[in-house]
Amino acid sequence: MSAIVFTLRHEPPERLDLSRLVPDVLVELTKSEIEKIEIGTTKYGSRVGDIFRVKGNNAANVVFEAGSARFDGVGTGMTSGEVRVAGEVGAQTGRLMRGGSLLIEGDAGPFAASCMSGGRLEVRGNAGDRLGGPLAGEMAGMKGGVVIIRGRAGERAANRMRRGLIAVGKGSGDYAGSRMIAGTLVVLGKAGAMPGYLMRRGTIVLGKTPTELSPGFVETGAPEIAFSGLLDRWLVDEGILDKPLLGRAPRRWGGDNAVLGLGEVFVKG
Amino acid sequence: MSKLTVRGVEIEDTFAEAFGMKATAVIITAPTLKWARQAAITMTGFATSVIACGCEAAIDVELPEAQTPDGRPGVRVMLFSMSTDELQKQLQTRVGQCVLTSPGSACFAAMEGADEMKLGSALRYFADGFQISKKIGGRHFWRMPVMDGEFLCEATTRMTRAAVGGGNLLLLAETSAKALVAAEAAVAAIEAVPGAIMPFPGGIVRSGSKVGGKYKGMMASTNDAYAPTLRHLPQSKLRPDINAVLEIVIDGETSDAVAASMRAGIAAVTKLGPARGAKGITAGNYGGKLGKFHYHLRDLLP
């Protein structure tokens, strides 16, 4: 059995909803049924066969041979298997993902990993705003799993995050970790203004000392803790860090005291 | 009973009789090996025998920084008990009173098995609402603020039902000093075997016991057959030239670990020879009726 490969025939004429092109759905469909899936979102009414050439039959391994900023909802709700996009994607990549592995080789749009609860999403390029965050009306953002952004993240990365881990390689926009409920956000490179803004609980690890924290944060010194060694080791093992970042006694701020105040921001001590 | 002789040390053709037990293990780390060991030694104090201590526990191995979850020096501690509930209680109270309290300590799971044992998930309430839950790499940890920083503790560890307790060697010597030299050599050799502990003081027991006694309620009483001052009695098993007997008791994560430990112990004692150490080696059993695991000394010769 070979991977199911979607080859782009031409740049899509409209935004596409690719949320059904995941292993859990494709495993029950024949090639002709897959080609009839409606993926258009406007009057064009695009179907899979109009936009992609489809080959292969192993639904556990799905490959998009090219990407487009019009690919929305890639990997939505997947529970197992692998999905790889050899290019960029649009909004809500990996939304509600529960398991399996999703690799985006280019950039991802806004709301990547939105409300994800398990599995692993890796984006080789940059991610848009509100990485892992909830859509309007939802109470919490990401609830589990691992997200690795090799490039930069937009504003409000890990917004309303509840559990899981997000690691961003090359900096983020403003308000990283805003309103976090819990969970872990690692931002290497430079984070924008006010990381941890209104966070309740949770951990934000910054590669560089922040220029501006929310006024509700208070420095708590640099006590020696074992957790930083544990996190360092895991980040190195995962290839997110080359060498340990925090060390045994990282510098720490507690906050945001404007809300619950049980969150924390770490930088190297 | 027939005798086998290796390098002048007589080995009785008998067997050690051991029992199935339940075991769990944790890794304790600290800023230095000294303090990891201190926490482990404190935690495994008063844990020589399930007869009165609730569990049998000791340090299994020391772990270098590269082999611990948090990159600090550590030790692996194993605990053995007959019942799951008692093992859970002993683990929780010992980690709570002896490891949580030790400067700079952290505690991690170090056992595979089907059954879960609560660790940090039971101790976290000490943090009075300031505890922090963290899931890293599929493992769940609790961080508890304490006066020197934080106590980091994995939420759960595991329990194995394949553990074996009560593997033993009896070392028979001409003098107390020679018995001790032989026993120390055996302990040093067995310490190098992974997955096995010797829970008695320094790994050595001088008050070996038999089952029951003349007094009501005594589960165990002195092993009169091997007490040199009772050699004049008919039940004595000691030759005239034996004046001291010391026992090594071994608990293993698996039956193989117990066998490997006994083999290492016999090798060390026979290497020492009868002039410097023990003249004879034997083992304790109850006729083979009580314990499921039998370790025949003739199968474990070097």
Would the CA dihedral through B267, B268, B273, B278 be positive or negative?
negative
Q: Are A229 and B71 a contacting pair at CB < 8 A?
A: yes
- Specify the long-range contacts of residues B218-225, CB closer than 8 Å, at least 24 apart: B219/B51, B220/B51, B223/B284
- Angstrom distance (rounded) from CA A153 to CA A169: 9
Could you tell me the two tokens for B12?
A: 């009785």
Could you tell me the two tokens for B268?
A: 């060390």
* Per-residue confidence (pLDDT) for residue A269, from 0 to 100: 76
Place of tokens 């309103």: A179
Between strands A218-219 and A251-255, the pairing is antiparallel
pLDDT of chain B, 302 residues: tens digit per residue? 567 999 999 999 999 999 999 999 999 999 999 999 999 999 999 999 998 999 999 999 999 999 999 999 999 999 999 999 999 999 999 999 999 999 999 999 999 999 999 999 999 999 999 999 999 989 999 999 999 999 999 999 999 999 999 999 999 999 999 999 999 999 999 999 999 999 999 999 999 999 889 999 898 899 999 999 999 999 999 999 999 999 999 999 999 999 999 999 999 999 999 999 999 999 999 888 879 999 999 999 98
Q: A142 near A164, Cβ under 8 Å? A: yes
* Per-residue confidence (pLDDT) for residue B286, from 0 to 100: 85
Q: B17 near B166, Cβ under 8 Å? A: yes
* Residue in A182, A201, A230 closest to B136 by CB: A230
Last residue of a domain, one of B119, B145, B160: B160
**Whether residue B179 is found in the same domain as residue B220:** yes
**Whether residue B136 is found in the same domain as residue B69:** yes
* Residue in B70, B104, B132 closest to A230 by CB: B70
Instruction: Please confirm whether the linkage preceding A107 is cis (ω < 30° from 0).
Output: no
Q: Which helix (H) or strand (E) holds B37?
A: helix B33-43
**Whether residue B139 is found in the same domain as residue B224:** no
Residue A211 has a CB neighbour count (10 Å cut-off) of: 11
| Candidates B100, B152, B154, partner chain A, best to mutate (most A CBs within 10 A) | B152
Last residue of a domain, one of B108, B134, B160: B160
Strands (E), B115-243: 115-118, 132-136, 139-146, 149-154, 156-173, 196-197, 204-205, 209-211, 220-222
Q: Are B72 and A229 a contacting pair at CB < 8 A?
A: yes
**Whether residue B29 is found in the same domain as residue B126:** yes
- Residue B117 neighbours by CB under 8 Å, 6+ apart: B24, B87, B88, B91, B111, B156, B157, B158, B159
**Whether residue B222 is found in the same domain as residue B296:** yes
Residues of chain A neighbouring B32 (CB-CB closer than 8 A)? none
* Residue in B135, B141, B149 closest to A224 by CB: B149
List, in sequence order, every residue forming a beta bridge with B221; answer none if it has no partner.
B210
- Angstrom distance (rounded) from CA B34 to CA B63: 12
With b for 16 or more beta-carbon neighbours within 10 A and e for fewer, the B166-193 pattern comes to bbbbbbbbbeeebbbbbbbbbbebbbeb
Range of the domain at B189: 3-18+162-300
What is the distance in angstroms between the Cα of A259 and the nearest Cα belonging to chain B? 15
In this prediction, the residues of chain A whose per-residue pLDDT falls under 50 are none
The radius of gyration computed from the CA coordinates of chain B, to the nearest angstrom, equals 21
- Angstrom distance (rounded) from CA B117 to CA B94: 13
- Angstrom distance (rounded) from CA B227 to CA B34: 38
* Per-residue confidence (pLDDT) for residue B287, from 0 to 100: 84
Q: Are A230 and B132 a contacting pair at CB < 8 A?
A: no
**Whether residue B43 is found in the same domain as residue B144:** yes
* Per-residue confidence (pLDDT) for residue B289, from 0 to 100: 80
Q: Give, in order, the Cα–Cα distances in Å from B109 to each of B14, B25, B97, B126.
A: 37, 7, 17, 19
φ/ψ (deg, to 5) at B96: -65, -40
**Whether residue B12 is found in the same domain as residue B137:** no
Residues of chain A neighbouring B149 (CB-CB closer than 8 A)? 223-225
* Residue in B72, B132, B135 closest to A226 by CB: B72
Q: Where in chain A is the domain with CATH 2.160.20.60?
A: 67-267
**Whether residue B228 is found in the same domain as residue B114:** no
* Per-residue confidence (pLDDT) for residue B1, from 0 to 100: 56
Last residue of a domain, one of B113, B142, B160: B160
What is the distance in angstroms between the Cα of A234 and the nearest Cα belonging to chain B? 7
* Residue in B135, B148, B149 closest to A163 by CB: B135
Q: What is the CATH number of domain A67-267?
A: 2.160.20.60
B214-254 pLDDT, tens digit each: 999 898 899 999 999 999 999 999 999 999 999 999 999 99
Say if A200 is an interface residue toward chain B (CB within 8 Å). Answer: no
Could you tell me the two tokens for B130?
A: 């300031």
* Residue in B70, B130, B137 closest to A226 by CB: B70
Q: How many domains does chain B have?
A: 2
**Whether residue B48 is found in the same domain as residue B131:** yes
**Whether residue B131 is found in the same domain as residue B210:** no
CA atoms within 13 A on the CB side of B100: 22
| Farthest-apart Cα atoms in chain B, separation | 66
* Residue in B70, B104, B134 closest to A184 by CB: B134
Q: Are B106 and A226 a contacting pair at CB < 8 A?
A: yes
Say if A101 is an interface residue toward chain B (CB within 8 Å). Answer: no
What is the distance in angstroms between the Cα of B150 and the nearest Cα belonging to chain A? 6
Contacting A with CB below 8 Å, chain B residues are 29, 31, 69-72, 104, 106, 130, 132-137, 141, 143, 148-150, 152
Say if A231 is an interface residue toward chain B (CB within 8 Å). Answer: yes
A146-168 pLDDT, tens digit each: 999 999 999 999 999 999 999 99
What is the distance in angstroms between the Cα of B152 and the nearest Cα belonging to chain A? 6
Q: Are B135 and A144 a contacting pair at CB < 8 A?
A: yes
Q: Are A227 and B104 a contacting pair at CB < 8 A?
A: no
Q: Are A244 and B71 a contacting pair at CB < 8 A?
A: yes
Residues of chain B neighbouring A224 (CB-CB closer than 8 A)? 31, 104, 148-149
Predicted TM-score (pTM) of this structure:
0.93
Say if A251 is an interface residue toward chain B (CB within 8 Å). Answer: no
Average pLDDT, chain A: 96
**Whether residue B88 is found in the same domain as residue B129:** yes
Which of these, A112, A79, A122, lies nearest to A98 by C-alpha position? A79
Q: Which residue does chain B place closest to A232, by CA atoms?
A: B70
Give the CATH number for residue B89: 3.30.70.520
Q: Say which DSSP state A127 is in.
A: B
Q: Are B29 and A201 a contacting pair at CB < 8 A?
A: no
- Angstrom distance (rounded) from CA A226 to CA A136: 38
* Residue in A225, A232, A233 closest to B150 by CB: A225
| Candidates B35, B107, B130, B150, partner chain A, best to mutate (most A CBs within 10 A) | B150
No. of helices (H) and no. of strands (E), chain B? 5, 18
A77-86 pLDDT, tens digit each: 999 999 999 9
